[in-house]
Amino acid sequence: MKIEVAEFAGFCFGVKRAMDMAWKELENAKENIYSLGQLIHNTQAVGKYKEKGLKVIDAVEGKISGSIIIRSHGVSLDVYNALKEQNVSIVDATCPFVKKIQDIVYKSFSEGKAIVIVGNPKHPEVIGINGWCKNSAKIVKTIDDIESYSWDDSEYSVVAQTTMNIDQYEHIKKKLTATVDHIEFHNTICLATKERQDASKILSKKAQAMIVIGGYHSSNTQKLTEICSQNCPTFHVETKEELDMSLISSYSHLGITAGASTPDWIITEVVEYIQENSK
């Protein structure tokens, strides 16, 4: 059986960087190490970090002592201030691409511009970005949201959630341009998501079947499963234990892809398991 892993699969740059920073902290830990929210949507990886001593908290409440890791999604200015008041040491693993958006929003807002964020208002990245303009942003997830806001003569500065779908962003941009007189756009979409989706699509057209590895609750993994299943039989698993070899051993060319929160070691385990059990 030929097993082929997609050109882009698993951790993106920002998630890998955050996970490496967190691991390094845990290895050198002399005090409590917290993370503000789950580092990633992957049960196995989160379990491994917790075993190593990571304590996950949902909010900065009560007294914290030790170090706190800010995950790749980033946080609001208020959260940084709350952490500074507590005198905890901050390990800032905000993805540099997200940091760039926060800087644009902070600068534009300081210059008196009104902020628009194209993205999901419930996503932690968007909640964090909004916190750099005193939570004043108009958040546009779909074209219809544009009509739900009133638009005045202000100068508007627009940023996008890094994982926003490019086509959807372009539609929203077109409508905003037609709706608002003074508006500037900053295309802050990160290509990591698109690269993973494109690579999975290409491979699923060549392979006889696809295995998609990633958390069942990870939306980018679900999206990869959806894309691949349009082209060939597709099996979504979280770990090697869930592979049903009776379903896949008859294929001579198997493609593998993985969501952006799937660590390399889980991908390697799946590949090795299939190699050993398909002989």
182 appears as a binding residue in the annotation: no
Measured over the CA atoms of residue 39, residue 42, residue 46 and residue 49, the dihedral's sign is negative
Q: Identify the residue among 158, 160, 192, 258 touching ligand SF4 (CB under 6 A).
A: 192
Judged by CB under 6 A, does residue 176 bind ligand SF4?
Answer: no
41 appears as a binding residue in the annotation: yes
Judged by CB under 6 A, does residue 72 bind ligand SF4?
Answer: yes
253 appears as a binding residue in the annotation: no
The whole-angstrom separation of Cα 189 and Cα 169 is 9
Six-digit token pair at 162?
């890094």
Residues 6+ away with beta carbon under 8 Å from 242: none
Q: How far is CA 19 from CA 54, 92, 176, in A?
A: 12, 11, 37
Q: Where are the beta strands (DSSP E) in the chain?
A: 2-5, 33-36, 55-57, 67-70, 89-92, 114-118, 138-140, 156-160, 183-185, 209-213, 234-237, 253-258
Q: Please, are residues 206 and 228 in contact by the beta-carbon 8 Å criterion?
A: no
Q: Which residue has tokens 């295309």?
A: 187
Instruction: Count the residues of the shown chain that bind ligand SF4, applying the rule CB under 6 A.
Output: 14
> x/- binding map, residues 248-267, to ligand SF4, per CB under 6 A?
------------x-------
Judged by CB under 6 A, does residue 15 bind ligand SF4?
Answer: yes
**Which residue, 18 or 140, is less far from ligand SF4 as judged by CB?**
18
Region near ligand SF4 per CB under 6 A, out of 38-46, 190-198, 205-213, 227-235: 190-198
188 appears as a binding residue in the annotation: no
Judged by CB under 6 A, does residue 22 bind ligand SF4?
Answer: no
Q: Identify the residue among 1, 3, 13, 37 touching ligand SF4 (CB under 6 A).
A: 13
Q: Identify the residue among 162, 221, 225, 261 touching ligand SF4 (CB under 6 A).
A: 162
DSSP code of residue 240: G
Chain centre to alpha carbon of residue 247: 31
The whole-angstrom separation of Cα 86 and Cα 79 is 11
* 251 φ/ψ angles, rounded to the nearest 5 degrees: -85, 140
The distance of closest approach from Cβ of residue 249 to ligand SF4 in the complex, given in angstroms and rounded to an integer, is 34
125 as an active site residue: the answer is: yes
The whole-angstrom separation of Cα 133 and Cα 127 is 11
Judged by CB under 6 A, does residue 219 bind ligand SF4?
Answer: no
Q: Identify the residue among 14, 214, 215, 259 touching ligand SF4 (CB under 6 A).
A: 14
261 appears as a binding residue in the annotation: yes
- Residue with the closest Cβ to ligand SF4? 14
* Catalytic-role residue among 25, 51, 111, 125: 125
Helix 219-229 × helix 191-206 angle, to 10°: 30
Amino acid identity of 236? H
Site for ligand SF4 in 80-139 (CB under 6 A): 95, 97-98
Q: Identify the residue among 12, 26, 207, 258 touching ligand SF4 (CB under 6 A).
A: 12
133 appears as a binding residue in the annotation: no
Six-digit token pair at 189?
């979409």
**What does the binding site for ligand SF4 look like in residue numbers (CB under 6 A)?**
12-15, 72, 95, 97-98, 162-163, 190, 192-193, 260
Question: Catalytic amino acids?
Answer: 125
Annotated binding-site residue numbers: 12, 41, 73, 95, 123, 162, 190, 218-220, 261
